[in-house]
Amino acid sequence: DAEGGVVSEAGSSSCWLMNDNELYVPTDNNEILDGITRHTMLRVAKERVISFIDRNYNLHEAMAADEALFSAS
């Protein structure tokens, strides 16, 4: 999503960031599908005791992250 400089999705996929063993998850809103993939990622993070931060992040933060993952259904 290039609008507003927020990184969240790319054509039917979602973007996840890992930084300092924390999972950054785009905020659930009307622009993001609150679907099974998102719920599964959050459940697995909880099971593996990985804290997650539910907030939007920008391109600079994405580029500086330790890891980045795009998922698609």
Please calculate the CA angle 40-32-26 and round it to the nearest 5 degrees.
70
Per-residue pLDDT of the chain (73 residues; tens, 9 = 90+): 456 677 665 666 778 899 999 999 888 766 666 778 888 888 999 999 999 898 888 889 989 999 998 887 6
Contact 52, 23 (CB under 8 A): yes
In this prediction, residue 19 carries a pLDDT of 92
Residue 64: the pLDDT is 94
